[in-house]
Amino acid sequence: MKPFRLAIFASGSGSNAVAICKYFSRHAQIEVALIVSNNEQAGVLQKAQELGIESITFSKKEFVEGGSVDTALQEKKITHIILAGFLWLVPSFLITRYPNKIINIHPALLPKFGGKGMYGARVHETVRNSGDKETGITIHLVNEHFDEGKPLLQVTCPISPSDSVVDIAAKVQALEHQHYPKTIESWVLS
């Protein structure tokens, strides 16, 4: 068993989860041991199966109260939690259990364009309407509030006036796949 064992929490398509799993597939010290989702229809579950990584789903009640999620994290000896498109607030028992060991990626330059309800295309649309000339990604530690933990990395990309929301989303996603796995690696090993 490798010393550092990641659980990825994801609610959506899972492109970041795939990038992370591929990056660590032959790593000497770090492995992705579990994929966790609140959404039984999430594309990430199919991807977990294809990658041969165990996955679980759970209800809101189970998540907030602990139960099966907690048991799975303990059974798999999870050392770090990676949020990758996970839409629920992380309950305080997990923040306490994993102090400074939960990380998130946000598809904009926090503290702008973050908080509850700011996810997916809504973020990029708000950024575009703001007239800002750049956007990017923020990788940050997770606390009890949406998108407010200590930032570990921000990377920017330019927005041109002709960029659509889809264009902005594609630029930001490319930055996510390029930087999230490497940032996780240096954070886990630091």
Summarize as ranges the residues that interact with ligand GRF (CB under 6 A): 10, 12-17, 84-85, 105-107, 119, 176
List Cα–Cα distances, 69 to 32, 33, 76, 94, 101, in angstroms: 16, 14, 11, 10, 16
Tell the smallest beta-carbon distance from residue 182 to ligand GRF (Å).
Answer: 15
Residue 188 contacts residue 98 (beta carbons within 8 Å): no
| Residue 113 backbone class (left: φ over 0; alpha: ψ -120 to 50; beta: rest) | left
Q: Which residue is nearest to ligand GRF (CB)?
A: 85
Measured from the CB atom, the residue of 98 and 113 that comes closer to ligand GRF is 113
Strand partners, 151: 140
CB of 94 to ligand GRF, least distance (A): 17
Peptide linkage before 161 cis (omega within 30 of 0): no
Identity of the residue, 57 or 66, whose beta carbon is nearer to ligand GRF in the bound complex: 57
Give catalytic status of residue 177 as yes or no: no
Identify which of residues 85 and 149 has a Cβ nearer to ligand GRF in the complex.
85
Options 80, 106, 124, 140, the catalytic residue: 106
Query: CB 139 → ligand GRF: shortest distance, Å?
Result: 9
Q: Which of 139, 148, 144, 154 is nearest to 185 (CA)?
A: 139
- Annotated catalytic sites, by residue? 106
